[in-house]
Amino acid sequence: MRRALLAAPPLLVAVVLLLAAPVAASSGTMANPASPKTTLPDVEDDVMCPVCGTALNLSSSPQADRERAFIRREIVAGKTKDQIKSELVAQYGTAVLAEPPKSGFDLTAWLVPGAAILLAAIAIAIGLWRWRRAGRSGGPPTAGGPPLEPTDSERLDADLARYDL
Amino acid sequence: MSARTLAVFIAVLAVIGLLGYGLLKKSSDSLAIGDPIPDATTSLPRLDGGGTGSVADYRGRWVLVNVWASWCVPCRSESPTLERFYAAHRGPDFTVLGIDSNDLSTDALDFAHRYRLTYPQLRDGDGNFAQHELGTTGVPESFLVDPQGKLVVHSLGPVTDRYLSSNVVPYLSGRASG
């Protein structure tokens, strides 16, 4: 009986450990952070430090440090890059995005440069077309200015001959 | 008017319009003493999440508007000063109003909790109100607004007990007028 009692505690411990193992494993799973879906540099590339007015990856201000800490927390929570950007917009407004949104007035930031390039291309094309048409209708190109006096012409020939190597 | 003239006219108008818009958007000149607070009715969320509020909500009282952020180092020394001042002078005629600017709401709440700030707080997450309406260039900045909604004192940088005693108290006690 006494031996049975002495043997009981290790047996009891083993049973308890066996029972507790799945619980510990499951709680361990819960405590583990979600698998990251993005990285800090990946998000940093796409967002600004609103106070500094520079890209976040170029800023070392206290505000930028807090923004990075926020991004790290969101990454640990398993958020995607787009989700993190949305959270940042909710905190700081759209000014936090490195690229302006493609909606509302901010759409002009995308449209105006494209339209300007298109207009410039059209203007250059029209200019070239007119230049070529003028060239064709005007015959072979001639040197501008009035014809030279015979004395000037002789002098020019003499000068050119002097430099003729 | 020929088509070419019209096109040039439209192009010039577009360039002038863009330049004008850029200038207007960047015009965040600091408020002058005596100026009414522009767009004081702008609704900002309360930091604690309980609805919204505005500077205009305090019309009829002296309001010391303090623009701050949790990442701002000088704000750490200033906040207890403001809390003391609020505790000493709060009432139907005066309040301190914090505006948390360009900040994360969780950080701001932690800051308010750490420094036991009890005065009302609004949240200006994107900093638009502070920068474009109040014309702030950084944090902290403080603005004493009279009961009619006009600016009477503007302080760049952290306020101290001494500053508040000599620049704000005279207005509250009626020894100075706006």
Q: Give me the CATH number covering residue B63.
A: 3.40.30.10
pLDDT in tens, A75-94: 999 999 999 999 999 999 99
B14 in the same domain as B52 = no
pLDDT in tens, B79-136: 999 999 999 999 999 999 999 999 999 999 999 999 999 999 999 999 999 999 999 9
Q: What angle do CA A63, A66, A69 make, to 5 degrees?
A: 155
B139 in the same domain as B114 = yes
- The answer to whether the pTM exceeds 0.90 is no
Give the residue from B18, B70, B71, B132 with the most A CB atoms within 10 Å of its CB, the best one to mutate.
Answer: B71
Statement: residue A30 has pLDDT above 60: no
Residue B127: domain span: 33-172
- Tell me, rounded to whole angstroms, the distance of Cα A163 from its chain centroid: 58
B83 in the same domain as B24 = no
- Prediction ipTM score: 0.75
Chain A residue with the nearest C-alpha to that of B126: A92
B80 in the same domain as B60 = yes
Residue A109 has what pLDDT?
Answer: 77
Chain A residue with the nearest C-alpha to that of B7: A119
Q: What angle do CA B55, A63, B73 make, to 5 degrees?
A: 75
**Secondary structure, 3-state, chain A:** CHHHHHHHHHHHHHHHHHHHHHHHHHHHHHHCCCCCCCCHHHHHCCEEECCCCEEHHHCCCHHHHHHHHHHHHHHHCCCCHHHHHHHHHHHHCHHHECCCCCCHHHHHHHHHHHHHHHHHHHHHHHHHHHHHHHHHHCCCCCCCCCCCCHHHHHHHHHHHHHCCC
Chain A positions in Cβ-Cβ contact with residue B71 (cut-off 8 Å): 61-63, 65-66
B54 in the same domain as B23 = no
Chain B positions in Cβ-Cβ contact with residue A93 (cut-off 8 Å): 125-128
Residue B63 has what pLDDT?
Answer: 97
B70 in the same domain as B82 = yes
Q: What confidence category does residue A133 fall into, taking pLDDT thresholds of 50, 70 and 90?
A: confident
